Chains A and B, each alone.
Chain A
Amino acid sequence: MSTTAAEMETSESSQAEITPTLRVSSLRAEFRTDSGTAIAVDGMSYDVHAGETLAIVGESGSGKSVTSLAIMGLIPNPPGRVTAGEVWFENHDLLKLSEREMQKIRGNKVSMIFQEPMTSLNPVLSIERQMVEGIIEHLDLSPHAARQHALDMLKRVHIPDPESRLSEFPHQLSGGMLQRIMIAMALSCNPMVLLADEPTTALDVTIQAQILNIMCDLRDEFDTAIVLITHDMGVVAEMADRVIIMYAGRKVEEGTVTNIFQNPQHPYTRGLLGALPKLGFAGPVGSQTLNEIPGIVPALTDLPAGCRFAARCSYATEQCVAQYPPFEEKTTAHWAACWESANLPEGNQE
């Protein structure tokens, strides 16, 4: 196999530390809309390692889902398009692979699960058909062996009576059950990377915990790298090793869970933490108000030159409005893009 100089360099320089399973660098994705070009993802970079869970947090439209779809090569085109960046996986830039080569990686080495289990499965095909087709495609098993493998996967995600579930159709199963099936399906080819796009958002809280536990167990068993996309800081605290906070298509803060929760360096992160309800609050019911972040996200078709959060930030200065802050290391292994992070008051929220 021939390797280009750039590939050698990338693999050697990262070999010095530990080679990440997946490396996204300077990814940019644009969507054509009626009101102009929307820059959904603007220079996104991250590494994720085997057995690690990286959480990507941000509100709707911050570009977290688009990043994952770009990695999978699933951005609907038109109107969407990846215009810059690289996605390194097993010494290949996934963005340069052909559709046929990507088909061999999707659902096999890199898998994805989606937010809405109820609509993510084909309503007119049985669970068995939908599980088995991917297994046959990638693992080259006989239909009988593939069925057996599907059964094993259903058992792993704790689905009761898997034999009869196989012959059922999506509308006969609950949302929690379907999401477990989605996880079983995504993990059935033992992927190295699992992109989980808000896997528990559509489910009720008790089911959420079960699903997250299943994902943790499978990650530990198979040493899968998980990229967990969420807007729920509670889920982050439970699952993640490292966290990236995204705002309006850019990374605004990155660090370990402890760093992010105890010492947030970006006012937006502090805003998100302040919006969390607190357990053990000893006042009368209903007397605790949650903080909210004033204002709305800027339009992705008309982004300001300076910090994109400046208009909503109570610490914003003239410099914030004029110039985008560099994404720099504030404390050890803790980065943020904020001019004012040194001047933020004590505490972890607004």
Chain B
Amino acid sequence: MLNYLIRRILSAVVTIFVTTIAVAMLIHLVPGDPVQIMYAQSQGTTPEHLEQVRQSLGLDRPLVEQYVMYMQRVLQGDLGHTIRGEQPVLDLLLLRLPNTLLLTGTALLIAVSIGLTFGFIAAYKRGSWVDTSLMTTAILGVSMPHFWLGLILLFFFAVKLQWLPVAGNNLENLILPAITLGVTNAAIIARLTRSSMIDVFDQDFVRTARAKGLTRAAVLYKHALRAGLVPIVTMIGLQFTYMMGGAIVVENVFGWNGVGRMAIQAIFQRDYPLIQGFILMFALVVVTVSIILDIVYVWLDPRIRYD
């Protein structure tokens, strides 16, 4: 197990390394010059002045050299400074990351509680009208894009009914974006839970549990749900990383002050260090989640061994 974990962490390091190379290459493929964008509105800047700024930022050097310099700093824990405003990237990210984690965490909670409940009920009542209507709702849920659902929710609950504020960063501002992000993922979790549980309900050991005279609740939760959890947990882990991606869109729709909103601004301004720092942090979150999942599997299913 320990050996496996070490190997797993080493491969995660490689993954992150490759990601940084890909990002460094890709952002320079996007047309647009950060320095020009930065000074577009200001009067009286000469081409010489712009060139000077480029030099000071190292943007005039070859791409490979820029990357090597960047990585040297990253390995020392320095993600650089933003082009605009010269603020430390790491500080900016750490300041906003809790907001994004709060949003995705709440959304995940909503997705898992709705998804598991609906999927489980649909499986238990399989073939009935309850099953059909739950799964039709789930298809609707899967089909709705985040930005669309977000706007619809805003329109009804914030504009028409005025129950909730349109934007802001208080806890009550969390409700709509978290629902937007959670609902579509709830639908995916519900569908997987249903198929996983239908598979488990037909297993011999569920019949044995009933034959032991256990209560219905004990059979359903202690035996069936517990055994069907591995694929569901895998899906939840994947959904979490998708949600981090979805958060970028949702944060922008609702003006939620997370890293996603900052990332979009950084992309518009071609603020390379900030974009790179953002992607690096995302990659770190994704590989960490997948390593945690690997450990959770062993605990969930004793048949899984990594030696």
Question: Which residues in A have some Cβ–Cβ distance to B below 8 Å?
Answer: 72, 74, 78, 99, 102-108, 111-112, 114, 116, 119-126, 133-134, 137-138, 169, 171, 182, 185
Contact B210 A171 (CB under 8 A): no
The yes or no answer to B218 lying at the interface (CB within 8 A) is yes
| Whole-angstrom distance between the Cβ of A164 and the nearest chain B Cβ | 15
B16 to chain A, nearest CB (A): 33
Known: A124-B301, A169-B302. A103 touches B214 (CB 8 A): yes
Instruction: Verify if B300 is at the interface (C-beta below 8 Å from A).
Output: yes
The distance in angstroms between the C-alpha atoms of A104 and B223, with both chains bound, is: 18
Interface size on B, as a range, is 20 to 34
> By the criterion CB–CB under 8 Å, are B227 and A103 in contact?
no
- Contacts A126-B302, A182-B208 supplied; 12 other A-B pairs, CB < 8 Å: A74-B210, A104-B213, A106-B211, A106-B213, A119-B205, A120-B208, A121-B205, A122-B208, A123-B227, A133-B218, A137-B212, A171-B303
Per-residue CB proximity of B202-225 to A under 8 Å, as 1/0? 011101111111111010001100
Nearest CB of chain A from residue B9's CB, rounded to whole Å: 26
* Cα of A125 to Cα of B204 in the assembled complex, Å: 14
CB pair A134 B302 closer than 8 Å: no
When C-beta atoms are compared, the residue in chain A nearest to B203 turns out to be: A119
Compute how far the CA of A124 lies from the CA of B225 in the bound complex, rounded to whole angstroms.
11
Contacts of B127 in A (CB 8 A): 78
List residues of chain A with CB within 8 A of the CB of B215.
Answer: 103, 137
Nearest-CB residue, chain A, relative to B208: A120
The answer to whether B73 has its CB under 8 Å from any CB of chain A is: no
B226 interface contact, C-beta 8 A = yes
Between A105, A125, A138, the greatest number of chain B beta carbons within 10 A of the residue's beta carbon is seen for: A125
B205 to chain A, nearest CB (A): 4
Output the nearest chain A residue to B206 by Cβ-Cβ distance. A122
Residues of A within 8 A of B216 (CB): 99
Are A112 and B209 in contact (CB-based, < 8 A)? no
- B204 interface neighbour in A105, A120, A185, Cβ under 8 Å: A120
List B contacts of A116 (CB < 8 A).
Answer: 204
CA of A123 to CA of B301, assembled, Å: 8
Which residue of chain B is the closest to A73 with respect to CB atoms?
B210
Q: Are B208 and A169 in touch, CB under 8 angstroms? A: no
The verdict on A122 contacting B211 (CB below 8 Å), with A169-B303, A171-B302 known, is no
CA A103 – CA B209 in complex, angstroms?
Answer: 11
Segment 130-145 of B: residues with Cβ below 8 Å from A:
none
Q: Which residue of A lies closest to B229 (CB)?
A: A124
Cα distance A13–B213 when bound, in Å?
A: 31
* B212 and A134 form a contact (CB under 8 A): yes
Contacts A169-B302, A171-B303 given; does A106 touch B227 at CB 8 Å: no
CA distance A126 to B299 in the complex (A): 12
| Contact of A103 with B213 at beta-carbon distance under 8 Å, contacts A114-B204, A123-B205, A123-B301 already known | yes
Q: Which of A108, A120, A169 contacts B213 (CB 8 A)?
A: A108
Interface positions, chain B 72-127, Cβ under 8 Å from A, are 127
Contact A133 B208 (CB under 8 A): no
Contact digits for B287-300, partner A, Cβ 8 Å, 1 yes 0 no:
00000000000001
CB distance from B37 to the nearest CB of A (A): 56
- B120: min CB distance to chain A, Å: 17
Distance between Cα atoms of A72 and B209 in the complex (Å): 12
- Complex: A102 Cα to B212 Cα, angstroms: 11
Cross-chain contact A112 with B214 (CB below 8 angstroms):
no
Report the bound CA distance from A105 to B222 in whole Å.
20
Q: Which of A124, A171, A185 contacts B226 (CB 8 A)?
A: A124
Residues of chain B with a CB closer than 8 A to A74's CB: 207, 210-211
Closest to A123 in B: B303
Q: What is the distance, in angstroms, from A198's C-beta to the closest C-beta of chain B?
A: 13
- 1/0 contact string of B136-165 vs chain A (CB within 8 Å): 000000000000000000000000000000
For the complex, give the distance between the alpha carbons of A103 and B213 in Å: 4
Of B211, B222, B303, the residue contacting A112 (CB under 8 A) is B211
Q: Report whether A124 and B302 are in contact in the complex, using a CB–CB cutoff of 8 Å.
A: yes
Q: Is the CB of B303 within 8 A of A114?
A: no
Restricting to B253-287, which residues have a CB under 8 Å from any CB of A?
A: none
List, in ascending order, chain A residues with CB within 8 A of B301's CB. 123-124
The smallest beta-carbon distance between A32 and chain B, in angstroms, is 12
**A122 and B205: CB pair below 8 A?**
yes
Q: How far is the CA of A14 from the CA of B215 in the complex (A)?
A: 33
The listed residue (A78, A121, A123, A133) touching B222 by CB distance below 8 A is A133
